Chain A
Amino acid sequence: MIIRKEFSVLLLLLSLILALLPLTANRSFTAKPDKLLSDVLNEDASFTVDQVAEFIIREDNTVQLIDLRSPEEFRKQAIPGAVNIPYPEFVTKDPEIWLGNKNVRNIFYSAGDIESDYALVYARGLGYDNSYVMAGGVTEWIRTVMETKFTGDRITARENALFETRRRAGEMFTELNSLPDSLKMKFLESKKFSAKKLDGGCE
């Protein structure tokens, strides 16, 4: 049968190409470069610490805070409700485990700015458009939420609400971080992700 020969040659040639390729990873950016760039430079991709503070006191479950710092830093000062994924781990593992739920907005933060911004571009580039950053990171959180005091002589209703939010979020933050270490670890561990089990096979 003549078709066998042509077919064999075709398969061999194609698999030869595959053998030469570095098929090491299964992840590549799928977004278009210009669109990704304008998306991530847009203000909509960032939340301010005040917005995040409000999510926390409302215990909004459509929001997931992701802390990209090292586990030691996270243990010292964690924002309530955050989970810890150290940045080097975040870029090397399959982000589906963490970002797979499309109904949740993922907000990255790091110590300052840089890592959370990498993570934002990385996640959006892979197609997780539900990714955002908390601008300024923990530094900004401490400066604004924890340390800003009311100054001046008159206060408007809006300012009052803002300060009230900050006060309550600050209290939650202090409360969590003043827990004894073992209790705090228990609380933080309880929010660990586990890989979603894939469906398939004949079971």
Chain B
Amino acid sequence: MKRSYMNPYLAGILLGIVLLTAMVVSGRGLGASGGYKYCVVSIVGAVDPPHVENSEYYSKYFENGKKPLTNWLTLEIFGVVAGGFISGAVSGRLKLKVEKSPKISVTRRLIFAFLGGVLFVYGGQLARGCTSGAALSGMAVLSLAGFVTMIAIFGSAYVFAWIFRKNWI
């Protein structure tokens, strides 16, 4: 059985309540790209400890016996995977597939998806937050950084959209 998606405004209210809960319970917004980094940092820390010790950037995630895997953001993105799975199971949307425009090949879609992931998380780390960490959570606390990042993301995406239109329509 396949059910259609929730009404966007209701889904928005639900997401807003989740964000508000994060603010009330933990005093912070949501985030995602940071979680990627903590995972990567802990993998690098396990694979190549000397590299971590010598790097100023890596070492700050391990000082005072901290473990990047038991971090708020890391646990939160594990939760996102679980929550998405629950929702998909409830609404009957669990299915292995590549979603793409019929005009492009599967390989092209996967390559672009990979490149998009590289750029998105790289940019997200540079701006200290992605669409959820900076734009969404930043707007909810009226942070100027959040508004600037949001405008930069959506503004440039509209420009690039014209270049990559073949991928989607």
Contacts and interface: CB of A to CB of B under 8 A. Distances in A.
B42 interface: no
B150 interface: no
Interface string B27-47: 111011111010000000000
Interface stretch (A99-107, A157-165, A193-201): A193-201
Interface centre among A1, A199, A201, A203 (most CB of B within 10 A): A201
Contacts of B32: 202
Contact of B129 (A1, A3, A198, A202): A202
In terms of DSSP, what is the predominant structure of the interface of chain A? loop
B78 interface: no
A199 B34 contact: no
B9 A198 contact: no
The size bracket of the interface on B is: 20 to 34
Nearest to B37: A202
Contacts, number: 41
Contact of B9 (A4, A201, A203): A4
B7 A198 contact: no
Interface string B2-27: 00000101100000000000000001
Given A3-B9, A203-B128, A198 B34 contact: no
19 contacts: A3-B9, A3-B10, A4-B9, A198-B27, A199-B28, A200-B27, A200-B137, A201-B29, A201-B34, A201-B129, A201-B137, A202-B31, A202-B32, A202-B33, A202-B73, A202-B125, A202-B128, A202-B134, A203-B34
Interface of B: 7, 9-10, 27-29, 31-35, 37, 72-73, 124-125, 128-130, 133-134, 137
